[in-house]
A and B are shown apart, each in its own frame.
Chain A
Amino acid sequence: MSLFTDSEPSSYQEAKHHVCWQEAMKAEVEALELNHTWTIVDVPLNVKPIGCKWVYKIKQDPNGSVERYKAHLVAKGFAQTEGVDYFETFSPVVKMAIVRVVLALASIHRWTIQQLDVNNAFLHRDLSEDVYMTVPLGVSVSDTPKCCKLHKSLYGLKQSSRKWYEKLSILLLSCGYQQAQADHSLFVKTADTSFTTLIVYVEDFILTGNSTNEMAHIKHVLHSNFRIKDLGILKYFLGIEVAHSETGIYLCQRKYCLDLMRDS
């Protein structure tokens, strides 16, 4: 049995031979159980639980060395049936034109632009539908047929991103933010002279405005509701590199463009 590995396994069968992946899976299962994601129940009559799958990812730092081993448990959402275990699935993401407008405004007004990232965004939302999933490999249960009844949404479920967006928008609206008509992923708060705006791309946020107090406040609110990571000044967002200088803001997709040419 090897301790570490350079390649990402494609199945549980491959991964279980490596200590690093075993630990990563253990950590993931512990986090999910701590979050009360599921309870183990007998399989109900006439229910075929949806499958699940482990996905393995080696996180690298910018120098290419291994930062950590990450194991993700995902549900096989393609097995879900509309009207039974999911209903609505649409969830908006921000239009790129809006990102450009906001960055242009921020440049002109010399606002600071901050980037935030949510940890495990999809796992926070309660599920209203009854979703049953097979017990993931690596979780030990007794011999009788059991399955997991999900209480929280999991990556891979059809409704995951919608549930997350619902929860986030309710929170932001209750903080006095207004949703822009032109793009529902753009949240704006105006009060007296202060102007704050938040762009949402699933679990990545861009926060900018002229009031440092309001920005600190909303970060605090977000952090107490979800666990967010403050990535500081916006540098790299959805493959777009952002450079700030005294004279302006420069956007480019240099890395994306080079990768594209290398792969073609």
Chain B
Amino acid sequence: MDNSLRLHHDDSELLTDVLSYRRLVRRLLYLTTTRPDIAFATQQLSQFMSKPTRSHLATVMRVLKYLKGRPGQGFFFPRDSQIQLTSFRDADWGTCIDSRRSITGYFSLLEVLSSRGRQRSRTQFPDLLLKQNIELLPRPLVSYNGLLTCSKI
């Protein structure tokens, strides 16, 4: 998504084919299972399901073009990692134009202390922290039994 773009309920032409917009965004939502890179854009687009306009559809098309570059991108879980939970979150100081509320993003990582992972983490995080609304794990995971007893953040 274009960094300078702030999607909102704008005045541009309403779409005639609302259903196909909804279907597309619905499918993008499911795609975020293995594509956290489009999570923020999809969250934004899903705010306009009731009244999508031309500018929203243009953003959907931009996301599709981005996806077309690497349709097979996904997650890799390396075997040589150690279990360590890291969690980040941030809010954007009320930038939603329609409601003047903040958008909160959070990102949890169950990984990786090997040298390669650490390096990759460093390069990814600043970007994710600032711009994306990402979810990998909804709740902290303490140990194996943590699967049974973990609590809400």
A residues near B (Cβ < 8 Å) are 95-97, 100-101, 103-105, 107-108, 110, 178, 180-182, 186, 188, 190, 195, 197, 239-241, 246-254, 256-258, 260-261, 264
Supposing A181-B150, A182-B147 touch, asked if A250 and B75 sit within 8 A by C-beta, the answer is yes
**Is the Cβ of B31 less than 8 Å from the Cβ of A260?**
yes
**Is the Cβ of A247 less than 8 Å from the Cβ of B139?**
no
Contacts of B147 in A (CB 8 A): 101, 180, 182, 186, 188, 197
**Is the Cβ of B34 less than 8 Å from the Cβ of A251?**
yes
Q: In the complex, what distance in Å separates the CA atom of A107 from the CA atom of B76?
A: 10
Extra 5 A-B pairs, beta carbons < 8 Å, given A248-B76, A257-B67: A100-B137, A110-B79, A250-B75, A250-B77, A260-B28
B124 at the interface (CB under 8 A from A): no
Q: In the complex, what distance in Å separates the CA atom of A97 from the CA atom of B108?
A: 10
CB distance from A155 to the nearest CB of B (A): 22
B126 at the interface (CB under 8 A from A): no
How many of B's residues come within 8 Å of A, CB to CB? 39
Closest partner residue, chain A, to B141 (CB atom): A101
CB distance from B59 to the nearest CB of A (A): 13
Q: In the complex, what distance in Å separates the CA atom of A100 from the CA atom of B79?
A: 14
Contacts of A249 in B (CB 8 A): 76-77, 79
B residues 98-153 touching A (CB-CB < 8 Å): 110-111, 135-139, 141, 144-145, 147-150
29 pairs, A vs B, C-beta closer than 8 Å: A100-B136, A100-B137, A101-B141, A101-B147, A105-B83, A107-B77, A107-B79, A108-B83, A180-B147, A181-B148, A182-B138, A182-B139, A190-B144, A247-B79, A247-B80, A250-B74, A250-B77, A251-B76, A251-B77, A252-B74, A253-B30, A253-B31, A254-B71, A256-B27, A257-B35, A257-B71, A260-B27, A260-B28, A264-B20
CB distance from A32 to the nearest CB of B (A): 32
**Is the Cβ of B148 less than 8 Å from the Cβ of A97?**
no
B12 at the interface (CB under 8 A from A): no
Contacts of B135 in A (CB 8 A): 97
B33 at the interface (CB under 8 A from A): yes
**Is the Cβ of B67 less than 8 Å from the Cβ of A104?**
no
CB distance from A61 to the nearest CB of B (A): 23
**Is the Cβ of B35 less than 8 Å from the Cβ of A253?**
yes
B97 at the interface (CB under 8 A from A): no
B6 at the interface (CB under 8 A from A): no
Supposing A95-B138, A190-B145, A253-B33 touch, asked if A264 and B64 sit within 8 A by C-beta, the answer is yes
Q: Which of B68, B76, B111, B138 contacts A250 (CB 8 A)?
A: B76
**Is the Cβ of B77 less than 8 Å from the Cβ of A188?**
no
Supposing A97-B135, A104-B111, A181-B150 touch, asked if A256 and B73 sit within 8 A by C-beta, the answer is no
Supposing A240-B34, A256-B31, A257-B71 touch, asked if A104 and B139 sit within 8 A by C-beta, the answer is no
B24 at the interface (CB under 8 A from A): yes
B81 at the interface (CB under 8 A from A): yes
Contacts of A260 in B (CB 8 A): 24, 27-28, 31, 64, 67
Q: Mark B1-38, 1 if CB is under 8 A from A, else 0.
A: 00000000000000000001000100110110111000
Q: In the complex, what distance in Å separates the CA atom of A248 from the CA atom of B149?
A: 27
Q: In the complex, what distance in Å separates the CA atom of A260 from the CA atom of B66?
A: 13
CB distance from A170 to the nearest CB of B (A): 18
**Is the Cβ of A181 less than 8 Å from the Cβ of B77?**
no
Q: In the complex, what distance in Å separates the CA atom of A195 from the CA atom of B145?
A: 10
Contacts of B136 in A (CB 8 A): 97, 100
